Amino acid sequence: MPNSDVNNAQHLIVVGGTSGIGLALALAHQQLGWQVSVVGHSARKIERIERDYPTIQTYGCDLTDIDQRQQLLSDLETVDFDRLIYSAGSYLNERVIELDKADSDRMLAVNLQAFQEVFSWASQQLKDQSLTNQNAKSLTNHSIMPKLSLICIASIAGTLDYPYASLYAKSKKAMIATASAYRLALAPYNIQVTCIASGYVDTQALRDLNEGDASHKPFIMTTQKAVAHIMQAIDEDVELAIFPRPMRYLTRLLNQLPKPLLHRLLKGK
């Protein structure tokens, strides 16, 4: 039987939270006293979390499967949460790999279609909760209520104004624009929406894509440093957090270049 402290704790859901940045953010919130639920598709990773972090609630879902997505959202209907982070992502280096049908379908499904479905569902859940909180505040005269928030993990690649961008970059650009629209739409409900557009983070997934070593990536940062940036951006209610600083300056510079020159530069290895 959970104690009253757990019952009163703020609740976080991390979609794509069984590894990498998603899991790191889940653990950072847990250390702050949050109740945490994570969603992932790997049975092996879910079993590891259930073994190593038994207080974290886990949900299995292949986000590329429409039926599984709908079942996940149905399962979460009765879960009260204060913050949802969409951290799921699918990436392949499209400069060196030509996407086949399966690659293309998966990248679009995870990076855009599932994100849009989850954000739409979560925004409605939080709007309903916001109205409930406002009623409770008026009845109890409590001046402080928990801040509700939606967070998504995009990529600095989505900040480039580049007509020949990869599917990954275009889907992240769409994620950034979608989050901005939700931020404006949910402002009357006092719901925070923050989008994270980071550079390279030294996760296991990135190392796996680079033969076990991603240290050659420009301005690569540790997972711990990335989490610190993200938590600060959330605390400060930043609309679009772009980091690290050198990558932010570099993308600004690239966006000033003539598009044909930018195309040649980005097509280079």
Q: Report d(CA 191, CA 204) in Å as an integer.
A: 33
Q: Report d(CA 110, CA 63) in Å as an integer.
A: 6
Q: Which amino acid is at 111?
A: N
Residue with tokens 């994270």: 196
The answer to whether the CB of 229 falls within 8 A of the CB of 241 is yes
- 98 band by pLDDT with thresholds 50, 70 and 90: confident
Of 135-139, 189-193, 247-251, the least confident: 135-139
**84 vs 169, higher pLDDT:** 84
Residue range 158-183: mean pLDDT, rounded: 92
Of 96-105, 111-120, 189-198, the least confident: 96-105
Residue 194 forms beta bridges with which residues? 151
Q: For residue 4, is pLDDT > 60?
A: no
Phi, psi of 58 (to 5 degrees): -115, 150
Q: For residue 261, is pLDDT > 80?
A: no
Structure tokens at 105: 């379908």
Q: H-type helices in 143-189, by residue range?
A: 167-186
pLDDT digits (tens, 9 = 90+) for 109-160: 999 999 999 999 999 999 999 888 776 665 555 555 668 999 999 999 999 8
Of 23-32, 207-216, 232-241, the least confident: 207-216
**195 vs 133, higher pLDDT:** 195
Q: Report d(CA 137, CA 78) in Å as an integer.
A: 22
Region class of 194: left (phi > 0), else alpha (psi between -120 and 50), else beta? beta
* pTM (2 d.p.): 0.88
42-57 burial, b at 16+ Cβ within 10 Å, e below that, comes to eeebbeebeeebeebb
Percent of the chain residues past pLDDT 90, beyond the cut: 63
pLDDT of residue 94: 63
pLDDT of residue 248: 80
End-to-end CA distance of the chain: 56
Please state, rounded to an integer, the average pLDDT across all residues of the chain: 88
pLDDT of residue 268: 60
pLDDT digits (tens, 9 = 90+) for 85-95: 999 998 876 66
Residue range 221-226: mean pLDDT, rounded: 92
DSSP string for 84-118:
EEE-------TTTS---HHHHHHHHIIIIIHHHHH
**160 vs 218, higher pLDDT:** 160
Q: Collapse the DSSP code of 174 into the 3-class scheme (helix H, G, I; strand E, B; otherwise coil) and give the result.
A: helix
H-helix or E-strand containing 72? helix 66-75
Q: Report d(CA 193, CA 239) in Å as an integer.
A: 7
pLDDT of residue 3: 38
pLDDT digits (tens, 9 = 90+) for 29-74: 999 999 999 999 999 999 999 999 999 999 999 999 999 999 999 9
The answer to whether the CB of 169 falls within 8 A of the CB of 155 is yes
